[in-house]
Amino acid sequence: MGTVVSTKRQNTVSVKREFMHYVKKYERYEKRTSTYHAHCPPCMHLTAGDTVRIAECRPLSKTVSFVAIEKM
């Protein structure tokens, strides 16, 4: 699950996912982010800021290996 940050490419969105990572040395957590490129089916009308669920699939292009399956 993540937030759509870009819809500039045709049938593709960029999804940013935040997670907490534990730093053993300082015994604290830090916030990290990952950006995934996901296919956006024509039936889904997504805009920047939407929360979506993505699932892994076969490689659709050089950078796209995920597909948006649900708009939250």
Q: Which CATH number fits domain 2-71: 3.40.30.10, 3.30.70.2750, 2.40.50.1000, 2.40.40.20?
A: 2.40.50.1000
**pTM value > 0.95:** no
pLDDT of residue 16: 98
pLDDT of residue 12: 96
pLDDT in tens, 6-35: 999 999 999 999 999 999 999 999 999 999
pLDDT of residue 33: 97
pLDDT of residue 59: 97
In this prediction, residues 55-64 reach a mean pLDDT of 96
Q: Which residues contact 44 (CB under 8 A, 6 or more apart)?
A: 68, 71
pLDDT, averaged across the chain: 96
Going 40 to 44 to 49 to 50, the CA torsion angle's sign is negative
27: left (phi over 0), alpha (psi -120 to 50) or beta: left
